[in-house]
Amino acid sequence: MIAAGATALEVDAMRRALELAAHGPAKGVNPRVGCVILSPEGDVIAEGWHRGAGTAHAEVDALSRLAPGDARGATAVVTLEPCNHLGRTGPCAVALIEAGVARVVYAVADPGDHSSGGADRLRAAGVSVEAGVLEDEAEAFLADWLFAARTGRPHVTVKWASSLDGRVAAADGSSRWITGPAARVDVHRRRALADAIAVGTGTVLADDPSLTARDDDGDLLPSQPVPVVFGRRPVPDGARLAAHPHDAVLLTGEDLAADLAALARRGIRSVFVEGGPTLATSFLAAGLVDELLVYLAPVLIGGPRLAVGDLGVPAIADAHRLELAAVERLGDDLLVIAHPVVPGRAPRAATPDTTTPPEGN
């Protein structure tokens, strides 16, 4: 979306600001933000972006490249509403006012309880403000951070691999490999896209997973999810998790909403739940699942080892309804991507991949 009050130069500057924002860290508690400062004549006189927690915000970074007074009468074009709170750094709204900026154009409103309000503060100081410029593009770019900021928890994807009859293991407990190589490659690629990968202690004790993202040769991919283990049973000292590039986060799982909030405070924006039927069922029953990835193999197993346990559904009318977002063929297997139905919300497409890095343990 392009706001009606924005000029062509401001729209171009916003596209550049989004490019600058991409230089910032994609993970952590802070958003990736870019800023372009235009002279009163419309020329670019400074650019900046946020480099991570504790560093200058994009607006201040851009202003720092100008001599005192050079920003007077200028326009600041920024991907996120300038903040209005004092944290590790000062309020960006105040920095822009003090620099003499005459106009601020931004894409997405800041959803933070403490950091929002920058636009109102700017207007109160006599600064012209235009909101919503390239809002759709900025929303997509900041999707994971905005989700965590708006909900107070990470985006949760639950994944399982099963037979066509919904079994995740044979009677003896064996499950390697229900799906084929192409499906397993896809899982590892998606693991690398997530901030964290979660299992229960039962899976750790039974399977001793490494919870890493690996390529076809078994080598670690550049981006690794933080391992999260839910449950009260201790993780054995010699578990393969000990060799993971990141220290495991241990949570009780007794209050999943509180546990997810704790992960969000650590800067974890997305969680990939792979932890077996018990953990998947717990997340589904708690209404804390945002996306389902179901890898279906053309095999029949039978028996009791179902992908999902009791969800407390007494009648078909009470079934958990899903939006089917996509179906992909991966070798001989199918990947079904679905989202829980949320009343009043338009159907969503599958979550887009935002990087290009690539069932197994």
Q: How far apart are CA 162 and CA 179, in angstroms?
A: 8
Residue 211: which of 259, 313, 286, 279 has the closest Cα? 279
Low-confidence ranges of the chain (pLDDT < 50): 352, 354-361
Rounded to whole angstroms, what are the CA distances from 269 to 66, 103, 156, 256, 264?
34, 32, 9, 15, 6
Co-location of 114 and 141 in the same domain: yes
Co-location of 206 and 318 in the same domain: yes
At 151 the pLDDT is: 93
360 is a domain residue: no
Beta strands in the chain (DSSP E): 34-38, 44-49, 75-80, 103-108, 128-130, 155-163, 196-200, 226-230, 249-251, 270-275, 291-297, 322-330, 333-340
178 is a domain residue: yes
358 is a domain residue: no
Residue in 10, 19, 47, 59 annotated catalytic? 59
Average pLDDT value for the chain: 89
Co-location of 313 and 330 in the same domain: yes
At 1 the pLDDT is: 63
Coil/strand/helix, residue 155: strand
> The domain that contains 275 carries what CATH number?
3.40.430.10
Residue 208: which of 227, 184, 236 has the closest Cα? 236
328 belongs to the catalytic site: no
At 114 the pLDDT is: 63
Q: How many domains does the chain have?
A: 2
Co-location of 174 and 204 in the same domain: yes
At 88 the pLDDT is: 61
Co-location of 75 and 108 in the same domain: yes
Neighbours of 284 (CB within 10 A): 19
120 is a domain residue: yes
Co-location of 141 and 208 in the same domain: no
Rounded to whole angstroms, what are the CA distances from 287 to 100, 158, 312?
48, 12, 12
Question: Which of 98, 114, 148 is the C-terminal boundary of a domain?
Answer: 148
pLDDT in tens, 272-289: 999 789 999 999 999 999
At 318 the pLDDT is: 84
Co-location of 249 and 127 in the same domain: no
Co-location of 84 and 52 in the same domain: yes
Strand partners, 7: none
1 is a domain residue: no
Co-location of 77 and 190 in the same domain: no
> The domain that contains 44 carries what CATH number?
3.40.140.10
> Identity (one letter) of the amino acid at 248?
A
Co-location of 106 and 193 in the same domain: no
At 95 the pLDDT is: 94
Which structure tokens are listed for 224? 């690794």
350 is a domain residue: no
Co-location of 20 and 102 in the same domain: yes
Domain range for residue 25? 8-148
At 361 the pLDDT is: 37
Does this model's pTM top 0.75? My answer is yes
At 304 the pLDDT is: 87
Pairing type for strands 34-38 and 44-49 reads antiparallel
Co-location of 202 and 334 in the same domain: yes
